[in-house]
Amino acid sequence: MTMSLARRTALIDFARACDAYIFEDDHNSEFRYTGPPLPCLQGLDNVGRVIYSGTMSKILYPSLRLGYILAPEHLVEPMIKIRAVIDQHSPAIDQATLARFLTEG
């Protein structure tokens, strides 16, 4: 679902007022074919209420099953601990190759 800029801003304001977080799964934002792209919620958020999730499989190639999360700094360590418990089978070689590609170009 694509929300207008006004609704996006209102949602962030609502999350701040409720002391809640928004999880933005932005895996298809690159595929907007009409009009200019809308800013993601995370890019509009100046109060740390949005956890942003994306994927490399849509950008590079479909069989690369790696994603990423941008989160407020105080949530990073808890998320790393949770990931260690629930995800023990991510392809380490793919992760290392992608990290090198992102670092070196």
CATH classification number, 5-104, choose in 3.40.640.10, 3.40.50.1950, 3.90.550.10, 3.40.50.150: 3.40.640.10
CB hemisphere CA count around 25 (13 angstroms): 1
Q: What is the reported pLDDT for 84? A: 86
Q: How far is CA 51 from the centre of its chain?
A: 6
Q: What is the reported pLDDT for 72? A: 94
Helix, strand, or coil here: 94?
A: helix
Whether residue 26 is predicted with pLDDT greater than 80 in this model: the reply is yes
pLDDT tens digits, 41-55: 999 999 999 999 988
